Structure 1
Amino acid sequence: MTDAERIARVQLARTKGVGPLTYSRFLETYGSGLAALEAFPERVRASGRGELKLYPADKVRREFDETDHIGARIILSGDEDYPELLGHLSPAPPVITVWGNTDLLKKPCVALVGARNASAAAMRIAHDMAHDLGNGGYTVVSGLARGVDTASHNGSLSTGTVAVIAGGIDNIYPAQNEKLRDQIKDTGLVVSESPFGHEPRANDFPRRNRLITGLSLGVVVIEAAQRSGSLISARTALEQGREVMAVPGSPLDNRTRGSNGLIRSGAILVENAEQVIEAIAPAAPSQASLFEMPDDDLDDETLEFSEEDRARIIQALSPTATTIADISLATGIPSRKCAILLVELELEGIAGSLPGGLVRRQN
């Protein structure tokens, strides 16, 4: 892949209003990042969202330079060293930045997540479980937060651990984990989906959680309240087809109500690394994409779009998520034309994308 193509793809991925699904559709439709950028203005005009502007190329070049300067790397979906499990997500995160030993992602990975205000017992369980998983040949993945995350990373430092962060690869959050982050990038791996220098915001953490579970065969929840980010991670893991496990806790502790609830809902009860390994052993090392766009016998140059096509697709959309193949079948419009028009409708805010390559009506 040429430097110009890499810059074009990062531009597209970093553009406000272009999510992973829209990004993947642009590449599928136009074949390259450079071609997608060329088509972008027309697609935006067709959507009626004239205020959408491409992320500047000079910012992307600076991001590559700054990332390279600290010894980190930007990896694009489609690159040879892009993590295999992550690549099977539909859609896969378009751009990740890695700092450290990417070979750790070639081993089977297990995510350990839990409360930031974890009890001493939960911290001990997380540390020991991570230590034993590392010694058992597994890579422990967590989010570099306080509490369970910190204990999990510390327990697996000697065997190599992966910290997935919400901010830019150079950003430290929380600040007190700067030393731990430095230890991890020296012996393990730090991963981010955000641009270099980005300060994490609340809406960045669900994306971070999707990365944590997407890199892993399964996720273990160790202490989680009823409303917590760990439960969001568990739900995301289920959507990705990952195994969900939970450590039981005292019913007298509010910090365990969410994790105990997961067990009542069907999550596998685990108490140690041996039980975790037993639970994920049947899991396939990779999973097939849930979404594949059928090939159409149409040349991009021959595609023509009418208001009738647009109206039929809008009519086919509903609040219930569906695939492009289903929309194509319902409307009689070839899937490639559906994909292009859905990009416009997504930019316009009429259609919305969901994990698994699904789309639904937004309003």
Structure 2
Amino acid sequence: MQTQHAKPLGDAERLDWLRLIRSENVGPIVFKQLLQRFRTPAAALEALPSLAGRGGAKRRIRVCTKEVAESELAASRKAGVQLLALPEPGYPPLLRDLEDAPPLLAVLGDPTALTLPSVGIVGARNASANGRRFAEGLAREISEAGFVVASGMARGIDTAAHRGCLPRPSIAVLAGGVDIVYPPENKELHKNLQQAGAVISEIPLGITPQARHFPRRNRLISGLCLGVVIVEAARRSGSLITARFAAEQGRDVFAVPGSPLDPRASGCNHLIREGATLVESASQVLEDLGRFRRQQLATPEPTLDDAPAPAQPGSEREHHNLEDLLSAEPLMVDELVRRSGLPIAAVHNALLDLELAGRIERHPGNRVARLYKAPADPL
């Protein structure tokens, strides 16, 4: 495949990118595979119905229309939102490396903050007063050292971390549209972050945060950053999902220890036992990440992997055999290749068809699982 643009997309091409990622059952990984196979979003859009049919779709796949995409672009411009595409120079360089990097990011504020070295700070919503104070001071010192702090603008630790950075840049990653202030009491913070940093999301404008969106939001926080600090977290906290994503993405994981009598410390203490770096001050984080201090990350020319010409479609039997090998428990794609005995290219082509048909879903770590009913949300 030819190297993709290292410059802003044209209006027509941006519209095609938006149409493709907003089409039914097209997530970030499928988007990238479609672009590798068909070279352009326009060609991929034409191929979607036939691919989904080969995968066993029971009805015609919903392809985002030109009119719907134009309406979203117009609403974005009106709201002052920039839709930043993965191959464009301003796209966050560390995030671009992820296999499930969002093809388009909605950015409200200053997009240059996304190109600076970042540290994530997340934690409990029902944080203690000491936890909030520690997070705010930690964020202040890290931002003063030249890093941008990224968090989720949630109550508690996230809010404290963002406030600690002001008036220096901070990045808020939202689980809803960038125009939706959540929680509502952070309206002023949302405004301040647009002026000193950026508010970003892969979710369309106007969409209220929903439970299924938060894990996807969490993987963006960790993906943006060189490392993630967990300040307070219970054992079943969403912050531990962020820590897991960070470890899978090869990021540093830091955790602040706490009293064994406080449930809000149990998650952090567990992370430390599992190998996370114990943190008692900002200097410890800065020491580990010091080589990036006050450096802007080099932005390599964006590329998408070379791919061969579209492969011959697999047989219906191959699709059924692969689907039969899968269950609701996620399985590594490499293991699926081994069990099926099929060539790697044939497995990837079949999985693409099955995912577009809504019969399987992707999981982090290059794993797939069988779907026994269609997903409610292609995001």
Cross-structure match for 2:236: 227
Residue type of the partner of 2:62? K
1:237 and 2:246 correspond: yes
C-alpha contact (below 8 Å) 1:89/1:214 kept by paired residues? yes
**Structure 2 Cα separation of the partners of residues 222 and 238 of structure 1:** 16
- Across the two proteins, how many residue pairs are aligned to each other? 356
Counterpart mapping for 1:266-345 below 5 A: 266-281=275-290, 295-296=307-308, 299-300=309-310, 303-311=312-320, 313-314=322-323, 321-323=331-333, 327=337, 331-333=341-343, 335=345, 337-345=346-354
1:47 and 2:37 correspond: no
TM-score (norm: length of structure 1): 0.89
Cross-structure match for 1:7: 15
Residue type of the partner of 1:64? L
Residue type of the partner of 1:95? L
1:174, CA displacement in angstroms?
0.5
1:131, CA displacement in angstroms?
0.4
C-alpha contact (below 8 Å) 2:89/2:299 kept by paired residues? no
1:27 and 2:63 correspond: no
C-alpha contact (below 8 Å) 2:330/2:367 kept by paired residues? no
Runs of 5+ consecutive residues of structure 1 not aligned to the other structure: none
Counterpart mapping for 1:38-187 below 5 A: 38-49=46-57, 50-187=59-196
C-alpha contact (below 8 Å) 1:251/1:257 kept by paired residues? yes
C-alpha contact (below 8 Å) 2:333/2:367 kept by paired residues? yes
Residue type of the partner of 2:91? Y
What is the RMSD computed on CA atoms of the aligned residues?
A: 2.7
Q: Secondary structure at the match of 1:219?
A: strand
Deviates more, 1:55-64 or 1:249-258: 55-64
| Identical pairs, percent | 40
Q: Secondary structure at the match of 1:162?
A: strand
Q: Secondary structure at the match of 1:271?
A: coil
Residue type of the partner of 2:37? T
Counterpart mapping for 1:339-354 below 5 A: 339-354=348-363
C-alpha contact (below 8 Å) 2:176/2:201 kept by paired residues? yes
1:358, CA displacement in angstroms?
3.9
Encode CA deviations 1:70-118: one digit per residue, 9 max, x unaligned.
Answer: 2220012122211100100012112210111222222210000011111
1:282, CA displacement in angstroms?
6.5
Change (3 A) 1:106 1:181: same
1:352, CA displacement in angstroms?
3.0
Higher relative contact order (CA 8 A, sep 6+): 2
C-alpha contact (below 8 Å) 1:316/1:331 kept by paired residues? no
Residue type of the partner of 1:208? R
1:320, CA displacement in angstroms?
6.0
Change (3 A) 1:48 1:329: closer
Q: Secondary structure at the match of 1:103?
A: helix
**Structure 2 Cα separation of the partners of residues 177 and 281 of structure 1:** 32
**Structure 2 Cα separation of the partners of residues 10 and 62 of structure 1:** 11
C-alpha contact (below 8 Å) 1:213/1:219 kept by paired residues? yes
1:244, CA displacement in angstroms?
0.8
C-alpha contact (below 8 Å) 2:85/2:103 kept by paired residues? yes
TM-score (norm: length of structure 2): 0.86
C-alpha contact (below 8 Å) 1:247/1:271 kept by paired residues? yes
